[in-house]
Amino acid sequence: MDNTRLVPLRGSERSAHAHARSTGAVSDSERIEVTLVLRRRSEIPDDLVEGPETITREELAARYGAGPADIDMVKRTAEQHGLTVTQTDPAARRVKISGTLGQLRSVVQADSLTMVTTPDPADEERMVEHRQRTGDLRILPEWDGVVIGVTGLDNRPQARPHIQRMKAHAVHSSYSPVDLGKIYRFPPGTDGSGHTIGVVELGGGIPEGDLDAYFAMLGIPTPRVDVVEVGSGSNAPGDPADGEVMLDIEVIGALAPGARQVVYFAENSAQGFADAVSTAVFADPTPTAVSISWGQREDLWTAQGRAILDAALADAAAMGVTVCVASGDNGSSDGDPTGKPHTDFPASSPRALACGGTHLEADPATSTVNSESVWNNGNGSASGGGVSRTFMQPSWQANVGVPNGNGQDRRRGVPDVAADADPKTGYRVLIHGRDEIIGGTSAVAPLWAALTVRLAEALGHPFGMLQPVLYDGAAPGVSPAGFRDITLGDIGGFAATPGWDACTGLGVPDGQALLARLASV
């Protein structure tokens, strides 16, 4: 077998995990399924991604999916090397192949591939074992320029759930999601009926009985919640990520009880994350919104990993899907132990509606806001935000005063929007039969997803990328109509100011004012 023919795959270089401990070699007999991401037949125009026009899955596949000749060539060459083609999806541009590691080495190789243990991002006291690759990937020369991404050889945990718990004595106040819908003036007469929200989960599960008990407590019929298991992912309650799963579902179900939720469980890996988002985006029926409460510092992704997921978000926008993503819970450093500024991906993609967090003091009985400021409790417990090192500044963000960050000009600023996220003023939820107070920007992404479907219900159409419309009318020091500006507080490296800032974006929603504004567009 001549493996010297293989050529480097651009953007695939990967470093070892900082806390990896080797446990041995990966057996050549281990069966692995990898995802091959193919090039588009033509690039999606910016005006389709950012504009009001939307297309169907079938139209996207025909114009911007993978070409039939490319798919046939990749399938044929994989099968010639003894591999099994397990799935093809022209719209999502994916071909999945399976075989032993020994067989896969004839078409894709890493510089190094070993078994290691690393801390579980959902519970850093727990170690998880996985495959780890380092260096570049190399692929068949026939695939060069056709296959633009390969995921699955390395299945290290890729993302963290952006959820924060607080001991009871430290909680100042707490709210049910229904309270917050009133405080943020969600449009009356809407409940999300006729719309679907996709929810991406990279671990955890739905404890039996919790949803019925929680919504009975709120006096709301239990919403429809369907489960899709992607790849090796499963609905497996008993995992540390159960809190994330239940927070997402309960916030959406309380704020958009008429909407159907589809929860996509996938392995926490670059492959699992991208496959889950793509599966959610290309579902039938097409969702109105997708909520993602998981992410990781930009520099802890490979270039190909960011590109694959960013392309899936572009597909979403073209089909009218609004993707709401938590901006992170570790302030301007996003958890970098050196304190250097970082943004969290995928929130840092311009195609994502990046959702930051506040500290809210309000009276639930009257829906009166006493004060609202940037969430920052110190010790790294703060809303995520800043300036991307990777993504250029989109045109709709050019005139709001995004600072030049990291020595680079005109980069994407994060977040776009915000809502309550401080666990000290957190959300009342039910997990494993226990009442808990939870915060984190993990709560803000589903809140904005619920608001999005209620706005879409009121106006009779989905939005896709909301940002170009939301930012219209914004200027340095000025937030546009539909937002209540947050001007107090900081996240470490950035402080709140009038207008857009890298702490809470444009501000928190005034749902009724936002509806009036969107109706006039």
Instruction: State how far the Cα of 258 lies from the Cα of 284, in Å rounded to an integer.
Output: 18
Torsion of the alpha carbons at 487, 489, 494 and 499, rounded to the nearest 10: -10
Nearest to 243 by CA among 192, 278, 294, 289: 294
- For 147-190, the DSSP string reads EEEEESS------EE--EE--GGG----B-HHHHHHHTTPPTT-
Run of H or E including 216: helix 210-218
Contacts of 8 (CB under 8 A, 6+ apart): 136, 137, 138
Instruction: State how far the Cα of 97 lies from the Cα of 32, in Å rounded to an integer.
Output: 8
The tokens of 104 are what? 């896969």
Instruction: State how far the Cα of 451 lies from the Cα of 51, in Å rounded to an integer.
Output: 20
Check the CA dihedral 241-299-382-125 and report its sign: positive
Amino acid at 509: P
Instruction: State how far the Cα of 21 lies from the Cα of 449, in Å rounded to an integer.
Output: 39
Nearest to 455 by CA among 369, 397, 517, 508: 517
The tokens of 26 are what? 């990966």
Catalytic residue among 179, 239, 248, 250: 248
Instruction: State how far the Cα of 239 lies from the Cα of 431, in Å rounded to an integer.
Output: 12
361 given a catalytic annotation: no
Q: Across 318-408, where does the E strand assignment appear?
A: 322-326, 344-345, 353-363, 368-374, 386-392
Nearest to 222 by CA among 244, 243, 200, 252: 252
The tokens of 257 are what? 């009880």
Amino acid at 429: V
Catalytic residue among 442, 457, 485, 501: 442
244 given a catalytic annotation: yes
33 given a catalytic annotation: no
The tokens of 448 are what? 């904005």
The tokens of 75 are what? 């399938």
End-to-end CA distance of the chain: 61
Catalytic residue among 210, 244, 250, 275: 244
Query: Which positions are catalytic?
Result: 244, 248, 442
